[in-house]
Amino acid sequence: RGGDGTVRRVLFEEAMEVNVLSGHRVVPPYGVDGGLPGAVGHTRLIAADGTVTEFGASAQTNVVAGDRMEIETPGGGGFGSPS
């Protein structure tokens, strides 16, 4: 069985520049010895006005107070037959 990812949510309390460097946003983590691949990750900016922007593996953006960033890390690929 592969590993579970995690979700991190960050609420910004002031304006700032944010840089994101991540991986496995398009190609999932691979499985080994017959194991299935894991899930891809996601990085989203939820603006204070409700607008949602999805980012790729690397991004730079400016945020303001009230914006939130949600980072879902990818799940790990499995090892061995899932059955």
| pLDDT tens digit sequence for 27-81 | 889 999 999 999 999 999 999 999 999 999 999 999 999 999 999 999 889 999 8
SS3 55: strand
Asked whether the beta carbons of 37 and 31 are under 8 A apart, the reply is yes
Strands 16-21 vs 7-11: parallel, antiparallel or unpaired: unpaired
Q: What is the arithmetic mean of pLDDT over 4-25?
A: 94
Listed residue (3, 26, 5, 16) closest to 69, CA to CA:
16
Distance set, CA 61 to CA 5, 6, 37 (Å):
24, 22, 30
Maximum C-alpha span of the chain: 49
Res 2 pLDDT > 90: no
pLDDT for res 43? 96
